[in-house]
């Protein structure tokens, strides 16, 4: 094997995508940071925006965590999204996307 092939093989192994780099703690989901980790991993797998102008909020229910990423700026192209993360399994059970609402007709 040529040295260039070896170098390419080593480089391919060292650059892992962000989807596989996100390691969350094992379930059950005990706190908001762990719930956010599962939500961000879901976002990266499904190519959802989760940074920049999006503000994060986390709420705990009896059997699930709701993680919400919203952009409350006027005229924003992306309004936001939210997921429910199951406490026992750490799996996302529901996804909701929010679209911007146009100006009201008066």
Q: What is the CATH number of the domain that holds 59?
A: 3.10.450
**pTM, 2 dp:** 0.71
54 is a domain residue = yes
The residues, ordered by sequence, that sit 6+ positions from 58 with a Cβ below 8 Å of its Cβ are: 32, 35, 36, 65, 66, 67, 68
pLDDT tens digits along 64-87: 999 999 988 877 777 899 999 999
Who has greater pLDDT, 71 or 6?
71
9 is a domain residue = no
The number of helices, as runs of H, and strands, as runs of E, in the chain is 3, 4
* Domain count across the chain: 1
DSSP H or E stretch at residue 42: helix 32-45
Range of the domain at 62: 19-98
The predicted structure's pLDDT at residue 6: 54
Measure the CA angle with vertex 59, ends 98 and 103; round to 5°. Answer: 25
69 is a domain residue = yes
The predicted structure's pLDDT at residue 43: 94
35 is a domain residue = yes
The predicted structure's pLDDT at residue 78: 75
């Amino acid at each position: 094997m040529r040295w260039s092939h070896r170098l390419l093989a080593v480089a391919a192994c060292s650059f892992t995508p962000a989807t596989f780099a996100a390691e969350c703690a094992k379930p059950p989901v005990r706190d908001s940071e762990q719930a956010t980790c599962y939500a961000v991993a879901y976002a990266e797998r499904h190519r959802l925006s989760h940074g920049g102008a999006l503000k994060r909020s986390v709420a705990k229910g009896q059997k699930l965590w709701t993680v919400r990423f919203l952009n409350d700026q006027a005229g924003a192209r992306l309004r936001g999204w939210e997921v429910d993360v199951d406490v026992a399994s750490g799996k996302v059970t529901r996804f909701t996307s929010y679209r911007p609402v146009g100006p009201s007709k008066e």
